[in-house]
A and B are shown apart, each in its own frame.
Chain A
Amino acid sequence: MNKEFSVVGKPVIREDGLDKVTGRAKFADDYKFPGMLHAVMLRISSAHAKINSIDFSAIENDESLVSIITADDVPGTKKVGMIKNDQPIFCNEKVVTPGDVLAMIVGESEAKLHELVKKIKVDFTPLPLLTDPKKSLETDAVLIHPVEGSNLIIHHPLRKGNVEKGFAESEFVLEQTYSTQLIEHSYLEPEAVVAIPLETSLGVKVIGSIQNPFTTRRFVSEVLNFPLSKVRIQQAHLGGSFGGKDDIMCILSARAAVAAMKINRPVKIRYTREESILESYKRHPYVLNYKVGYNKSGKIQAMKIDILADGGAYASMSPFVTWRTVVQATGPYEIENVHTDVRAVYTNNPYTGAMRGFGSPQPIFAQESLMDEIAVQLNMTPDEIRKVNGYKSGSITATGQKLQNHEVNLLTVLETAEEDTGFRKKWLENKKDKSQLIEYDFSSPIINESQFISPDSLIKKGIGLAVSFRGCSLGAEGTDAASAYISIQNDGSVYLDCGLAENGQGLRTTYSIIAAEVFGISTDQIIYLELDTGTTPDSGPTVASRATLMGGGAVKATAEILRKRLEELIRSEWNLKSDDEIVFQNNQVLITNHQSPITFKDICKLAYQRGISLATIGWYKSPSVGWDEHVGQGDAYFTYVYGCQVAEVRVNIATGEIYVDKVTAVHDAGKVINMLGALGQVYGGVTQGAGYGIFEEVTTDKGFIRELNFDQYTIPTSKDIGEINPIFVEGKDIYGPWGAKSLGEPTLELTAAAISNAVYNAVGKRFFKLPMNLEEVLLSKKLRPEDLKRGSK
């Protein structure tokens, strides 16, 4: 009985969809408790200062104040961090970036607290500012964290072959510098969390807009000096995260928990958009230097890469973000000689950490721009140069890893995209030999008669592509395992839970599909339980596009344990021969050459009567990977995915506007589990990637952010992106549930690079600095207002 999939790969509506569109779903700020208090943060207007003293006397006796919480109230660790403990819960000694919080005041009325907080007097001494990461490692640079001894957060070297020899043997050598900008996650729901003191022996419970409950639990337990089991984290519905509700939510949860335990009442912290943008971490700006040696045939001989990432005020996830960069920095090209250095440094800028993409969008912009530039120089088309160098089965990566055990579909996704869009023909038709943009001389702001653009040449069309490979899950970053819990009831309905937290991407639906497929039942038979660290097993964080692969693997393994128990029961109950097949399908169980089907419900009832346990926890553990950090060599990830995006644009050469008319996104994510979820990932990822390419930038002035709300921080709207055409190439893999791998981040990482290449095709001019906003396109530079005032000028 060869069985087709019954739910896997079909479009399934998310289990929380109805509750979300009708407003019934409860988000963190919807939780209210009797006696609940609010907390408001104290900050100062400085990016780098030594705190001499804080004078609370003006508010101490105010009746709206219940308590003041400072570093002195923190019973456990006073400094926390994802990797390095360099971030104070409350900054009582110094501030190193404007988002820093010195103390917190607690009371019943948030409005009153906002008035009171202004009356607190802080005496501080400004320290020298360091906002240019290029100066962070200079010998006379001020140290952001003197105890660290240096402003270097991390250095990842990678050495393969001999680049000098490679350059010497190359017919051409090209060197370019690229830069990418600081950007904000822009989750719709700003941070919110409430901490509730439990009965004495039980500790504290935290409910919040939390990306990773288990990481949050670690922070809270360290800060309170509680065992892990006395901290329970419950995840509320999450209004977006994109990697952005990790450390910040851990820290806010810890602050709320400290206050709740001190006062013995529930305490809520919720941020306005301005506070959210001010304090939360962002995506790293990179400066990327690439030197590449190649031959007339297009074959790349050597690549030397030097990358500097601005980690901002705290280390956060910088070591891991930049590690992915060092692994993937060459792009999916087989190159014999590679020499890469990636460094992250401290500055007084807003700190940077995890964001969807996680160290890949930056090098992809650089490396894919570079590939196109080489193609143009050698009179090749963009697809040709990539075919010469691109990974094939058995290729060796820059880290010395042989690509095997999965279909290396780089060229398949490239060819699929090319055919679907008619890429080559369009690219050749649009190709420009010189820049179509007008060079204005700003010393005479009135333009010459000859510079006026005739209406029929105002709009230029272009097409561009970008490809990538991406390591799935955590790789050599750390332990990689996940677990799930399933309990089948005696009427055949099923409880399901997994230690990986829903981040709004729909993983609960994906997991329900996987369990439903294994049991041959419909997804509406499955109730997904709330994630609570008190009852759900730890599965590491929802990051690195690992949820379907790892959590999905765990759900499948768990469901299979229980199905096996049911199969054994059936075999003994009906005395089956060993080659009799049992199929779970359509809420029924079918047995070859045997009586009429039995319902799933009846089998479960029987199991219950026979005293067979139908509840269990199952695991999925990744195969081992390896890494030598001195030379950057090893099997970095156990499997990879491949993607190619083609952007079709029009550029208005009078205004510098880029209209993204169509993006064709071809991804090998392995087996697609929920078609609707997969499409959603592509639509969202492409749109976010386009925002990175042409709109978004958090700019700072002496460390202070100019764009504190969405009136100034422009993310794309549905009107800004034209058609998005997702195509899935389902490559086979031995890992993951039925070979399902990663899609979330691949969809985002390519778009900016594809758009940049399309813009080059349209106007004959290459851009090296993201975002390609109006000024960048027209003037090849960014213009900044002189002050932090809001409004249009």
Chain B
Amino acid sequence: MISSLEILIPKNLNEALSLLVERKNNCRIIAGGTDVVPGLQQGSNRFANSELLIDINRIPEIKSITQTREKISIGGAETFSDMLQNQIVKEELPLLWKACSTIGSVQIRNRATIAGNFVNNAPCADTVPALLVYNATIEVESLSSKKEISIGEFLTGPYKTKLNKDEIVTRINIPIPSKEFRGDFYKLGRRRAVAISRITLAVLTKTQNHMIDEIRIASGAVTPIGIRFSDLEKLAKGKYADDKFLKLLSQKLGEQILNVTGLRWSSEYKLPVVQQMFYQLLKEIEHG
């Protein structure tokens, strides 16, 4: 049960950042509220002491998608529905677009935002693997500072990030990937909509005559937070992408995940499945 709360709706970024400073002890940013509201309702510790919600949905500075020659910049408060309708995202960032399309349901996607997803940073946050393989950087602002760090660095642990109490994620910047990259995003849930991910995978590869020039691999839900597998990426560089190697790479992914998580109640299912489905994904990308 949610006890009574104050909600303020700042009209611009400055107003919001000032509020964060003035009321820093008991306030919390709310965007779509799709993590905050269930969290409050369940009485989750993470949301305890929230007496004031700062609704950031009406701040124009953090609500647009723009493209320059090198990068695409997405406002932190963009909803998934808006992103799905955006041609730039659809054409240039197909993995992120696909990840957004698998989130919740239409109703959830109409409210839920991209920054909300990775600031909450659940193990199963679906945009994270895609943002990781696209080498996204996060722009964070407070009244007194402005910084930009890579998504991998920003996410520090399950439900933990480098965000300070007085900061807002204003933009997500993604370098436009070269056209030579091919890839895919994969999500497994217990059903086909409104499903908490059991496994997510994102892969981008650049090959020349079946030789792996570059590969970027990230997972979610099978690891405590979404991560890149740089060891595997190094191992694969320059290798011939034949069936034998793709199987080996899949087994290595299984080993890495096992190293990170140890054996859990769900490993007996998830480990073989992640190897199989990573292999499927690699085969599919190879065949285009």
In the complex, B97 has a CB within 8 A of chain A: no
Nearest Cβ distance between residue B265 and chain A, in whole angstroms? Answer: 5
Residue pair A446, B268 in contact (C-beta under 8 Å): no
Task: Say whether, besides A442-B268, A446-B255, A792-B124, A655 and B247 are in contact (CB < 8 Å).
Answer: no
Residue pair A779, B269 in contact (C-beta under 8 Å): yes
Residue pair A717, B273 in contact (C-beta under 8 Å): no
Residue pair B265, A786 in contact (C-beta under 8 Å): yes
Q: Which residue of B lies closest to A714 (CB)?
A: B190
Q: Which of A451-459, A568-576, A611-619 contacts B (4 or more CB under 8 A)?
A: A451-459
Q: How far is the CA of A451 from the CA of B250 in the complex (A)?
A: 12
In the complex, B283 has a CB within 8 A of chain A: yes
In the complex, B185 has a CB within 8 A of chain A: no
Task: Say whether, besides A110-B1, A447-B275, A775 and B269 are in contact (CB < 8 Å).
Answer: yes
Nearest Cβ distance between residue B98 and chain A, in whole angstroms? Answer: 16
Nearest Cβ distance between residue B257 and chain A, in whole angstroms? Answer: 9
Q: Which residue of B lies closest to A659 (CB)?
A: B192
In the complex, A24 has a CB within 8 A of chain B: no
Residues in B with CB closer than 8 Å to A773 are 190
Q: Which of A452, A714, A717, A793 contacts B250 (CB under 8 A)?
A: A452
Q: Which of B221, B268, B277 contacts A655 (CB under 8 A)?
A: B277
Q: How far is the CA of A598 from the CA of B194 in the complex (A)?
A: 58
Q: How far is the CA of A453 from the CA of B277 in the complex (A)?
A: 9
**Per-position binary interface string of chain A over residues 454-475, scored 1 when its CB falls under 8 Å from any chain B CB and 0 otherwise:** 1100100000000000000000
Residues in B with CB closer than 8 Å to A714 are 190-191, 195
Q: How far is the CA of A783 from the CA of B198 in the complex (A)?
A: 13
Q: Which of B1-58 contact A (CB under 8 A)?
A: 1, 3-4, 38, 42
Residue pair A458, B280 in contact (C-beta under 8 Å): yes
Q: How far is the CA of A110 from the CA of B3 in the complex (A)?
A: 10
Task: Say whether, besides A455-B280, A790-B42, A447 and B191 are in contact (CB < 8 Å).
Answer: no
Q: How far is the CA of A455 from the CA of B248 in the complex (A)?
A: 16
Q: How far is the CA of A43 from the CA of B221 in the complex (A)?
A: 34
Q: Which of A111, A717, A785, A791 contacts B193 (CB under 8 A)?
A: A717
Q: How far is the CA of A656 from the CA of B268 in the complex (A)?
A: 13
Q: Which of B43-94 contact A (CB under 8 A)?
A: none
Residue pair B269, A774 in contact (C-beta under 8 Å): yes
Residue pair A720, B192 in contact (C-beta under 8 Å): yes
Residue pair B191, A778 in contact (C-beta under 8 Å): no
Residue pair B123, A792 in contact (C-beta under 8 Å): yes
Contact count band on B:
35 or more
Residue pair B276, A455 in contact (C-beta under 8 Å): no
Residues in A with CB closer than 8 Å to B191 are 695, 714, 716-717, 719-720
Residue pair A793, B190 in contact (C-beta under 8 Å): no
**Per-position binary interface string of chain B over residues 261-288, scored 1 when its CB falls under 8 Å from any chain A CB and 0 otherwise:** 0011111110111011101100110010
Q: How far is the CA of A775 from the CA of B1 in the complex (A)?
A: 34
Residues in A with CB closer than 8 Å to B269 are 656, 774-775, 778-779, 783
Q: Which of B157-208 contact A (CB under 8 A)?
A: 188, 190-198
Q: Which of B193, B265, B280, B283 contacts A783 (CB under 8 A)?
A: B265
In the complex, B105 has a CB within 8 A of chain A: yes
Residue pair B193, A720 in contact (C-beta under 8 Å): yes
Q: Which of A404-453 contact B (CB under 8 A)?
A: 438, 440, 442, 445-447, 449, 451-453
Q: Which of B232-266 contact A (CB under 8 A)?
A: 244, 247-248, 250-251, 254-255, 258, 263-266
In the complex, A654 has a CB within 8 A of chain B: yes
Q: Which of B123, B244, B276, B283 contacts A447 (CB under 8 A)?
A: B276
Residue pair B264, A793 in contact (C-beta under 8 Å): yes
Q: How far is the CA of A438 from the CA of B283 in the complex (A)?
A: 19
**Per-position binary interface string of chain A over residues 758-793, scored 1 when its CB falls under 8 Å from any chain B CB and 0 otherwise:** 000000000000000111001100011110001111
In the complex, B115 has a CB within 8 A of chain A: no
Nearest Cβ distance between residue B184 and chain A, in whole angstroms? Answer: 13
In the complex, A272 has a CB within 8 A of chain B: yes
In the complex, A711 has a CB within 8 A of chain B: yes
Q: How far is the CA of A793 from the CA of B197 in the complex (A)?
A: 9
Q: Which residue of B lies closest to A654 (CB)?
A: B276
Q: Which of A111, A451, A783, A793 contacts B1 (CB under 8 A)?
A: A111
Nearest Cβ distance between residue B82 and chain A, in whole angstroms? Answer: 21
In the complex, A114 has a CB within 8 A of chain B: yes
Residues in B with CB closer than 8 Å to A446 are 251, 254-255, 258, 271, 275
Residue pair A455, B284 in contact (C-beta under 8 Å): yes
Main secondary structure of the interface of A (DSSP, over half): loop
Task: Say whether, besides A447-B254, A785-B265, A790-B42, A452 and B197 are in contact (CB < 8 Å).
Answer: no
Residue pair A452, B272 in contact (C-beta under 8 Å): no
In the complex, B128 has a CB within 8 A of chain A: no
Q: How far is the CA of A762 from the CA of B272 in the complex (A)?
A: 21
Q: How far is the CA of A655 from the CA of B263 in the complex (A)?
A: 19
Q: Which of B190, B267, B276, B284 contacts A452 (CB under 8 A)?
A: B276
Nearest Cβ distance between residue B203 and chain A, in whole angstroms? Answer: 15
In the complex, B122 has a CB within 8 A of chain A: yes
Task: Say whether, besides A446-B251, A717-B192, A792-B221, A272 and B267 are in contact (CB < 8 Å).
Answer: no
Q: How far is the CA of A548 from the CA of B204 in the complex (A)?
A: 58
Q: Which residue of A lies closest to B196 (CB)?
A: A792
Residues in A with CB closer than 8 Å to B194 are 717
Q: Which residue of A lies closest to B271 (CB)?
A: A445
Residues in B with CB closer than 8 Å to A114 are 1
The residue in A272, A655, A656 that gathers the most chain B C-beta atoms within 10 A of its C-beta is A655
Q: Which residue of A lies closest to B258 (CB)?
A: A445
Q: How far is the CA of A791 from the CA of B124 in the complex (A)?
A: 9
The residue in B122, B123, B266, B273 that gathers the most chain A C-beta atoms within 10 A of its C-beta is B273
Residue pair A774, B190 in contact (C-beta under 8 Å): yes
Nearest Cβ distance between residue B58 and chain A, in whole angstroms? Answer: 26
Q: Which of A320-371 contact B (CB under 8 A)?
A: none
Q: How far is the CA of A783 from the CA of B267 in the complex (A)?
A: 9
Nearest Cβ distance between residue B280 and chain A, in whole angstroms? Answer: 6
The residue in A110, A440, A718 that gathers the most chain B C-beta atoms within 10 A of its C-beta is A440
**Per-position binary interface string of chain A over residues 227-271, scored 1 when its CB falls under 8 Å from any chain B CB and 0 otherwise:** 000000000000000000000000000000000000000000000
Residue pair A654, B280 in contact (C-beta under 8 Å): yes
Q: Which residue of B lies closest to A715 (CB)?
A: B191
**Per-position binary interface string of chain A over residues 691-724, scored 1 when its CB falls under 8 Å from any chain B CB and 0 otherwise:** 0000100000000000000010010111110000
Q: Which of A646-684 contact B (CB under 8 A)?
A: 654-657
Residues in B with CB closer than 8 Å to A440 are 268, 272
Residues in B with CB closer than 8 Å to A453 are 276, 279-280
Nearest Cβ distance between residue B120 and chain A, in whole angstroms? Answer: 11
Q: How far is the CA of A778 from the CA of B273 in the complex (A)?
A: 9
Residue pair A445, B251 in contact (C-beta under 8 Å): no
Q: Which of A696-755 contact B (CB under 8 A)?
A: 711, 714, 716-720
Task: Say whether, besides A445-B272, A449-B247, A711 and B192 are in contact (CB < 8 Å).
Answer: no
Residues in B with CB closer than 8 Å to A654 are 273, 276-277, 280
Q: Which residue of A lies closest to B275 (CB)?
A: A447
Residue pair A784, B254 in contact (C-beta under 8 Å): no
Q: Which residue of B lies closest to A653 (CB)?
A: B276
Residue pair B265, A793 in contact (C-beta under 8 Å): yes
Q: How far is the CA of A451 from the CA of B264 in the complex (A)?
A: 22
Q: What are 17 A-to-B residue pairs whose CB atoms are below 8 Å?
A: A111-B4, A445-B263, A446-B254, A447-B254, A452-B250, A453-B276, A454-B283, A657-B188, A714-B191, A718-B193, A720-B193, A774-B198, A779-B269, A791-B123, A792-B122, A792-B198, A793-B264
- A-B pairs, 7 with minimum CB distance: A654-B276, A719-B193, A719-B192, A792-B124, A445-B271, A717-B193, A792-B196
Chain A interface residues (CB < 8 Å from chain B): 110-111, 114, 272, 438, 440, 442, 445-447, 449, 451-455, 458, 654-657, 695, 711, 714, 716-720, 773-775, 778-779, 783-786, 790-793
| 19 further contact pairs, Cβ within 8 A, besides A452-B275, A455-B287, A791-B124 | A442-B268, A445-B254, A446-B251, A447-B276, A453-B276, A455-B283, A455-B284, A458-B280, A654-B273, A654-B276, A654-B280, A655-B276, A656-B273, A717-B192, A775-B269, A779-B268, A783-B269, A791-B123, A793-B266
